[in-house]
Amino acid sequence: MSNRRAAFEVQVLVAKNWTVKNLYDDEDAARQASEAELKSGRVEGVRVYRLWKRVDGEHAEKLVFEKMGAVKPLRDVRVTPVDSAPMCREEADFLGHESLALMARLFRKYLDETCLTPTEVLHVWREYQRAWDTESIVMSGVDRVALVQTRGSEIAPKTRADEIYRAVEGIGARARRADRRKDLPRRVGASFGAVLRAEGDADPFDGVFAAHVVLARDLSERRDWLGKLERLGELLAAETDAEARGVLDSVAAQVFMSRDVLIDALGPRSNLAAAIDALLPLLAGGAPAFDAALPRREVFVRGLAGGALPLLRATLVERCLKMIAGPGELSRFDASREDACFRALANRLVGPAGVLEGEAGAAALLERAATFVVEGGVTGRKRALDWLLMALEGAPRRIALLRCLDAPLTREPEVRVALFEALKRTVGGATLADLAPGADDPLAPLAAAAELSRWLASRFPPKAAEPLCARLDGLSAEHLLVHRVIERIDRPDFGLAQRATRLLSFLLSGTLTEGRATELARGRIRDHLRRPDFVEAFAVGFADAAACERGLRELHALMTRAGISADA
């Protein structure tokens, strides 16, 4: 007869992951259930553990039955090419998020096939072994990374590959030692932070590694991506420890690197444009429109909107930009709407005040625009730029885009020349109001023109920039006169001290372009300084001579900064 204190746990192997299926009081019942699971063809293997509580109060387990079904061959698990890789030196570096994210891209096909994250592969000993035994993908990945990292340097690829192998083998040795530890729990429990703190008394790196092993074991029992997200969301919702939340954020980001996970998270979408549209709020600092069926949806939405999941946000932003830049049709099955979808996307991504995600967002849009032209090379890039500018509504959006693209296009001088020509056309045909549409403040267009003028002067040679800066200065001077901006600042009902200080502060605020606009403000200040009774009029309103003296010193300091001499 079975020990009444014992229970029998049935585990099933699905997608290379062992998952607890059920718990029985009787060993025969557990074995029969295991056989039935194996015959169903839905699992790759079964096993039964006998669990009991020893006299000393500790829990123990023993494998009493295991049987494997027919081995299902893995599909294509070749490594995916990468263009860059972080230069890790220590084992801890290889377990950092940048390195784990690289592994997620490099071994994407294998990870999707086995439904594992890099964290699980590196910390669960059986998964570590399985990866090494799978079609030499680890060696292929190491060689590819070594080649990328040593390109253009004096380091031999083999030398770098040997360094990576030593670190990876060291991580495997740690995973094996952790696997032999009887005191490590098999699951996290209520809080991952508690596991981190429990292991904190050991060597710092060993303790953190052991805590990661517990988390990886817990997640590896979930045989599908949504199951992992369910568990991660549960842990994130209960976690208050900042370090623990950072680890959970990293693992959640690794899960979302799977294309299938993102598709499930966004839910049914009519086309690629709709999927991108659901992610765009994330680029503006909010949260994506996740499907209501996503496990623990509110935890992830709240964390992304509040900035508590920065690694997951970075992953989703990267995925969104790749979708924008990629060749996939925005309006699938309806080619007539492709251009309209592109225009709507471009005007959402580019606003009058700037481009969402800056240079990366602008570059992604330019890549998408290239899918609308048939030419290649430099000609194709120029045509793509023109196409993108035509899609944008209004001069502010075009200027914002061109400013964001200027730095990335420094490596493409011919295309950058075309960018500058587009700037000339846009600025040449714009009014000052176009630079700050909808602004009620009369100073807003002046500030926009001054900031743009300074940027042009800093980015282009004087001979090229001066005509554009002069155009902006002329518009600013005209705006000052038409809207009587200086008169509004220099109000006659104020005392002379206040009027002079307000004018100088306005001149020094950076709101005016250098040239005619600043000369109008300087001219008004000089008119005050030339008054025969300037000192007497300035002293009005001060309590005593000492206060007036302090006011004069402050005025002279402002004049010096503004480049106005006292004898003006």
Tell the residue number behind the tokens 């979302």, with chain if given: 256
pLDDT bracket for residue 558 (50, 70, 90): confident
Full 3-state SS string of 499-512: HHHHHHHHHHCCCC
pLDDT at position 202, please?
57
**What CA–CA distances, in Å, run from 106 to 77, 85, 103, 121?**
10, 10, 5, 13
pLDDT in tens, 358-384: 999 999 999 999 999 999 899 999 999
Tell the residue number behind the tokens 């997640």, with chain if given: 219
pTM for this one? Answer: 0.79
Identify whether the C-beta of residue 473 lies closer than 8 Å to the C-beta of residue 453. Answer: yes
pLDDT at 411 over 70: yes
% of the chain residues with pLDDT over 70: 96
Average pLDDT over residues 130-136: 85
**What CA–CA distances, in Å, run from 158 to 103, 139, 152, 252?**
19, 12, 14, 33
Residues in the chain: 568
pLDDT bracket for residue 539 (50, 70, 90): confident
pLDDT at position 533, please?
84
pLDDT in tens, 324-360: 999 999 998 788 899 999 999 999 999 988 999 999 9
DSSP 418-448: HHHHHHHHHHHT--TGGGSTT--STHHHHHH
Closest alpha carbon to 373 in 387, 389, 352? 387
pLDDT in tens, 140-154: 999 999 999 999 899
Average the pLDDT over each of 47-61, 323-337, 420-434 and give the range with the smallest value. 47-61
DSSP 90-158: SHHHHTSHHHHHHHHHHTHHHHHHHT--HHHHHHSHHHHHHHHTSTTHHHHHHHHHHHHHHTTSSS-HH
Identify whether the C-beta of residue 304 lies closer than 8 Å to the C-beta of residue 312. Answer: yes
Calpha distance 89→103 (Å, rounded): 16
Average pLDDT over residues 382-409: 95
Helix (H, G, I), strand (E, B) or coil at 45: strand
In DSSP terms, 354 is beta-bridged to 351
pLDDT at position 2, please?
43
pLDDT in tens, 2-21: 445 689 999 988 766 677 88
pLDDT bracket for residue 183 (50, 70, 90): confident
pLDDT at position 547, please?
87
